[in-house]
Amino acid sequence: MKRLVLALDVYERERALEIARETSDYLWAIKVNWPLILGAGLDVIKELKETANVPLIADLKLADIPNTNRLIAGKVFEAGADYVIVHGFTGRDSVNAVKELGEVIIVVEMSHPGAEEFIQPVADGLIKLANDVRPFGVIAPATRPERISYIRSKLRDGIKILTPGVGAQGGSAKKALEAGADYVIVGRSIYESKNPREKARKFHEELMGAI
Ligand code: O7E
């Protein structure tokens, strides 16, 4: 089973497709965020799926009223995304508006230092929301493995934990998995390396060894 998600945060379509082609053997999924969508357009989602043949996560971190979330998510699912990432703090009606259209992943806690200011203090409420809404998965920080363990201990069985913050942000892939994550999201450590395929292979092997 593969547990690595590539965060493909480059601007250029060609570069994105090349990295996807090189690394796809080791990936469970590819995550696209605003940089690539703004740089290459929404059609890059379908092209990446055809090139890498893996699920596509659209990480737009939607945080709007239900109607606007629905309008945005509709376009993104139509473009071929398999999962759309939404913020939970806007409330369950906004999250459900996206879930009615396809699979969602809810942000429960983020990986950067500033996440301790506002998001971490309300994580319990966001976990409860996730347990009620039953998304495919939630986001938890690899930079704080103890928080992954905490979130896992409160989360309903079957909801996956995806964790960013490995490598460039200082987190460890192995520790994140041992703490209870299901999938590890890695960006710069792979796409900025001289040999993205080799880097992805190393992360894949580290993750396989951690199970
Ligand atoms: O640090 P990198 O280069 O390995 O990239 C990490 C990716 O995960 C990047 O796309 C960033 O936007 C995303 N991310 C975080 O780094 N921290 C978070 O808390 C949440 C995400 C993320 O993927 O959000 C999904 C909701």
User: What CA–CA distance (Å, rounded) separates 9 from 147?
Assistant: 25
Has 182 been annotated as catalytic?
A: no
Quote the ligand 1 centre to 7 CA distance (angstroms): 7
Q: What is the pLDDT of residue 210?
A: 80
25 is in an annotated binding site: no
Please list the pLDDT of the chain residue by residue as tens digits (211 residues). 899 999 999 999 999 999 999 999 999 999 999 999 999 999 999 999 999 999 999 999 999 999 999 999 999 999 999 999 999 999 999 999 999 999 999 999 999 999 999 999 999 999 999 999 999 999 999 999 999 999 999 999 999 999 999 999 999 999 999 999 999 999 999 999 999 999 999 999 999 998 7
CATH code for the domain in which residue 119 is found: 3.20.20.70
Domain carrying residue 152 = 4-209
| pTM of the complete model | 0.97
User: What CA–CA distance (Å, rounded) separates 203 from 187?
Assistant: 11
Beta-carbon contacts of 5 under 8 Å, excluding residues fewer than 6 positions away, are 27, 28, 29, 30, 31, 57, 162, 183, 184, 185, 186
Ligand 1 shell residues, CB under 6 Å: 7, 9, 33, 59, 61, 85, 107, 110-111, 139, 141, 164-165, 167-169, 185-189
Q: Structural domain tally of the chain?
A: 1
Q: What is the pLDDT of residue 141?
A: 98
